[in-house]
Each structure stands twice: as structure tokens, then as C-alpha cells.
Amino acid sequence: MKVNANQEMEVKSDLVTGSDLLVQALEKANVEVVFGYPGGAVLPIYDALHRNDTNFQHVLSRHEQGSIHAAEGYARVSGKPGVVIATSGPGATNLITGITDAMMDSIPLVVFTGQVAKQVIGTDAFQEADVMGITTPITKYNYQVNDIADLPRIVNEAFHVATTGRPGPVVIDIPKSISETITINDYEDDFYLPGYQPTIYPNPMQISKVTDELSKAEKPVILAGAGVLFAGATEELKQFANYWEVPVVTTLLGLGSYPGNDNLALGMGGMHGTYAANRAIYESDLLINIGARFDDRLTGNLQHFAPNAKVAHIDIDPAEIGKNVETAIPIVADAKQALSVLLQQEVNRGDYTAWLDKTKKNQKEFPLWYDRGDNPISPQWLIEKVYEKSNGEAVVTTDVGQHQMWAAQFYTFKNPNNWVTSGGLGTMGFGFPAAIGAQIAKPEKMVISIVGDGGFQMTSQELSILKSQNLPVKVVILNNEALGMVRQWQESFYEERYSHSLFSENPDFVKLAESYGVKGMRVADEDNVPEALDEAFSHDGPVVIDCRVDRDTCVYPMIAPGKGMHEMIGVTK
């Protein structure tokens, strides 16, 4: 039996609305928190949230982009899918950046968008948008619910798809007529996906090829990506690297997959990676990629990427293997399963003593460096102080740009899942709301959001959540009154034509924070930094620290566009 909820009728206890079915499905999926923003097409859903006793929390953002980036931060730190609700039309389209960000960085999300009633879809109805057409290229899968009987199954299926194989975002578009329909509560949520069976376990023959090549190699390198973190394989990676005594390079998103302070760690590779890491890849004769994409910011000019290396690539997504870099040993598998099998192999280990000595010599002779100034503050030194004062144990989130690279370079990540950043899409405005989600996921942890003055202004309205939820997030603004990385590229490649990259007027970030009931601080001299960080980090609530850093500082070393890993600039002063 199906009737319209707006009709006058006596609703019996065994009848529910489509929105009630959705709430029940979220409970059954063990959802802990939902990030959302109400609107006309999801009013039945929000009414169901009000009417039903739920075990999950709803966090009201101040913009849909804040909702989805918070869900990304939650998912990245907790390993559980982030859940988002937004209304139709502009509510749904405000999620597009975050959905794309999650797709590129393999973040599991289940996103519910409201839609206009079924009978007016396609008529350009008020607040209608073609969510299916818009999100098809940027989701792992998407659904539009056309029959209320399918809703429980679709929700259950969506959580499975989002979290298995290569994680990613799944969108469920729910017409208002579905969410408000009253029906009998007797639908099944079982599903069967014969065409979706991710390969988890590695081919034994391919695994043997890796160990065979390792026993013959003279200059092997392990490249560790975010796939190691998603698989929960950090301990296996450490055992594998230490057993073979092979140096480890991490990608930007892979930071924390291998302890950054370990003797075998060479640091981050890529455009702003360490000299030792990039030189090791360039000179290697065997490169073992575990869970990384070989994206352009890592490889530089592909003609010069590991030119003498035989490449083995372990990835759960077969589409990534051989996509950018020719691969001699393809292994489609979950990183944890592949490493577990590799650790069981009985083979003769090679002697890489000379190779390790060379990589350590490169680390010693060409470390990361920066010029130290007193006023304004040296941004790299500031990051080092943030690391020191937080004991290197904080969850750190960032936007994209100079502050992101300095955080990656100078905050040493010793533990997994403490680094939350926008890698593939490079999203300004990501870092601060992501910190909100991370803090909700790990209330016992210190969460520090290192952001630029440009990116912070894109989502600063989410300061309301810090106050309403009493979340003790510490926001460290590297305020150089510029779009720092844009300014750097204009200096380096556009003959210092600073077209619209310098901010003549910024808000007073201290007053802005205080207007939301959040503690605001300002520090402009290095002598005051240690005391300011101590005060902020010991405060039991949220804090925004406006740190005035040097505008002219650039991120080095660097692989310039079109150059190879062996052509880094700014390696030394």
C-alpha cells in the first residue's frame, strides 16, 4: 500500500515514510554522524530525523561544502564512510567539489541529495538539477531512487560499494515524493552485485616475481601511497621494509603509512619532495609501488621517472596499473593482503648496504632547508614548532598550497591516519572543515588545521560548528597576505607579474574568531611563537591563531613543470 503523506489519514504503527526507511537504513549501517544542511526537497528526511530516536549525531554545517569536507575528514581519520545530506538543486551542486575531491583521493562517502518530486523531474522545476548527470563522472557509483521498495537495498548497497575495493563517493538522489510516501515497513535490504567483485588477494606468481627481483636488485625502493593506509597495512609495510632493508619513499597522501622518523624513511617524493627521495627513485633499479597512483605531481616528466627501474605496482584498482607508468609486475590486490603474502616468502635477501649508504648520504648532505627570520615568522620554522609542541602526535589537516607543502615537509608523521589533506583535486577551503570531521572522529586527539589565509576564508563560516559542538580544533593560519603558491609560480614562471594573488585587505582573523565565540590569537614575532602555541594547545576549546609569516618565502626544493626528478631546483641555499 502506498499513499501520499500529505493526505489526511490515520497512520498505523506498522506504516512508515520513505524518510523513516532511510533513517532505519542509516542506523543499520552503524552510522555515527551525519553532516548536512536542510532544504525543501529533504524536509521529509529532516522531519524523520526529528521524529525518530537515532543513535547517530547530525552536524549542521553553514554551507554544503563545509558538510562534505567535514565528512571527508571524518572518513580519512576514522576509516568509516562519511555521510552527507543536502537538498536538491543548489544544495546538491554545492557538494560537487567535495565529491570530486573524495573521488580523486579515494575517500569513502555516502551522499544523499534531495530531488524534486518524480512527477516534475525534467521540467526545470524549482531547485531541480540533474544530479545523476552531474555526478556520474565524479562518483564511484550513483543512484536515483524511483521506487520506495528499492530504498533500503540501495542504501545498504551504497555503503558496501563506497567502502570496498578502492574506496570512493556514492551518491543517492531521493525524490521528495519517495521520501514522503507512506508505506508498509517490510522491504528487504539484501543485495547481490555479481559485476562488482573487487580483487582482494594477490596472484601468487606475481608475488614471487617481486621477491625474485628483490633478490637480484641493487637499488630497490618502496613507494608507499594512501592505499597502504586504506588497507590498514602500515605494520605489514614496516615489517616488509625492515626485513629487506629497502628505503621507503611516501607520496603526499601516503604520509604516515611508514614512520617518517624511521631509519629507512627518505621522506616525501614528488614536486616538493626531498632530494634523497626523488634521487632514490631516479636511480633505482626496482621500484615497488604499493597503493599509489603515479600522478603527475609525483612523477614529473615521465621520460625521466625511474628510467632504469623495473616497476612492480600493487593496487586494488586495476585501472591505475600501467595507466601512467609502464609496469613490469602488475599485482591487483589489497595492500595488506599483498604484503602479508610477501612476508611469507622464503627467499635470499640481497645486500643493499652500498645503496642504503648512498641514500643516507643524500639525506645528510641535502636536507630540507629554509632561511630563518625573526619578523615576520619563517613558515617552515613555525611548522617545526607546531610539531614540537604537539609532540608529533596531532591529526593535521591542510588546504592546498605552500602551507600544505611545508606541513608535509616539516611535520614528521610517525603514525598512520594523522594526515588529512586534499591531494588530487587540490581544494582550497578543504582543511578547516576537514578538521571538524577529524575531531568528531577522534575526540581524544589534538586536531590542528594548518591553513592559508586564502583557503581559510572560503569555509571560515564553519567556525559556528566549533562553538556549537565545543570542538577543540586548533586553527593555525599561515597568513602571508597572499595566495602563496600562486604568488610563487608568478615569481618563478611569470616574471614576477603578481596578477591578483596579493591580498591588500584581509579580515581581522582574531575578531572573526571571537565573533563566533572562539578564542582568537595573533602572533607576528618568532620570539612569541612558543608561548602562543603553548597557550593555544593547552586551551580546552577551539582556537584560531593568526600567524604572520613571510610573504616572499618559497617552497623548495622543487621539480619545475616539465622537468624530471633529477632536475630539482632549490635543493641548497
3 state SS for 475-496: EEEEECCECHHHHHHHHHHCCC
174 close to 87: Cβ distance less than 8 angstroms: no
CA dist 219 and 505 (Å) reads 52
Note the pLDDT of residue 12: 47
pLDDT of residue 404: 98
pLDDT, position 347? 83
Instruction: Please return the burial class of 126, using the count of CB atoms within 10 Å of its CB with bins 0-12, 13-18 and 19+.
Output: exposed
Longest Cα–Cα distance in the chain: 83
pTM: 0.96
pLDDT tens, N- to C-terminus, the chain (573 residues): 444 544 443 444 579 999 999 999 999 999 999 999 999 999 999 999 999 999 999 999 999 999 999 999 999 999 999 999 999 999 999 999 999 999 999 999 999 999 999 999 999 999 999 999 999 999 999 999 999 999 999 999 999 999 999 999 999 999 999 999 999 988 999 999 999 999 999 999 999 999 999 999 999 999 999 999 999 999 999 999 999 999 999 999 999 999 999 999 999 999 999 999 999 999 999 999 999 999 999 999 999 999 999 999 999 999 999 999 999 999 999 999 999 999 999 888 889 999 999 999 999 999 999 998 767 899 999 999 999 999 999 999 999 999 999 999 999 999 999 999 999 999 999 999 999 999 999 999 999 999 999 999 999 999 999 999 999 999 999 999 999 999 999 999 999 999 999 998 999 999 999 999 999 999 999 999 999 999 999 999 999 999 999 999 999 999 999 999 999 999 998
* The pLDDT of residue 7: 45
Distance, CA of 523 to CA of 206 (rounded, Å): 55
Q: What share of the chain is helix, strand, coil (3-state, %, to 5)?
A: 40, 20, 40
3-state secondary structure of 62: coil
Q: Is 294 a catalytic residue?
A: no
- Non-local (6+) Cβ contacts of 402 within 8 A are 379, 452, 478, 480, 484, 485, 488, 553, 554, 555
Beta-carbon count within 10 A of 513 CB: 24
Catalytic residue among 176, 219, 310, 385: 176
The rounded distance, in Å, linking the Cα atoms of 461 and 573 is 40
Marked catalytic residue, from 405, 428, 446, 485:
485
- Say which of 32, 127, 191, 384 is annotated catalytic: 127
- In the structure grid, which three cell numbers stand for residue 43, read together? 524536509
Burial environment of residue 191 by CB neighbours within 10 A (0 to 12, 13 to 18, 19 or more)? middle
503 among known catalytic residues:
no
* Residue carrying the nine cell digits 564511484: 140
Alpha carbon distance 269, 299 (integer Å):
8
Per the annotation, the verdict on 64 as an active-site residue is yes
How far is Cα 246 from Cα 284, in angstroms, rounded to an integer? 11
Rounded Cα distance, 161 and 167, in Å:
8
Judge contact between 331 and 202, C-beta under 8 A: yes
Q: What is the pLDDT of residue 4?
A: 52
pLDDT of residue 13: 54
**64, 72, 236, 462: which is the annotated catalytic residue?**
64
Is 106 in a helix, a strand, or coil? Answer: coil
103 touches 169 (CB < 8 A): yes
The whole-angstrom separation of Cα 450 and Cα 432 is 8
State yes or no: is 35 an active-site residue. no
Q: Which of 57, 126, 216, 218 is catalytic?
A: 126
Determine the Cα angle at 290 with ends 279 and 400, to 5°.
70
Pairing of strands 519-523, 543-548: parallel
Four-point Cα dihedral 399, 400, 405, 410, nearest 10: 0
In sequence order, the 6+-apart residues with CB closer than 8 A to the CB of 306 are 281, 282, 284, 287, 325, 565
Point out which residues pair with 82 in neighbouring strands.
109
CA 453 remoteness from chain centre: 20
Phi, psi of 290, rounded to the nearest 5 degrees: -120, 100
Q: Which three cell numbers stand for residue 387?
A: 610539531
Q: Is 176 among the catalytic positions? A: yes
CA 390 centroid distance within chain: 21
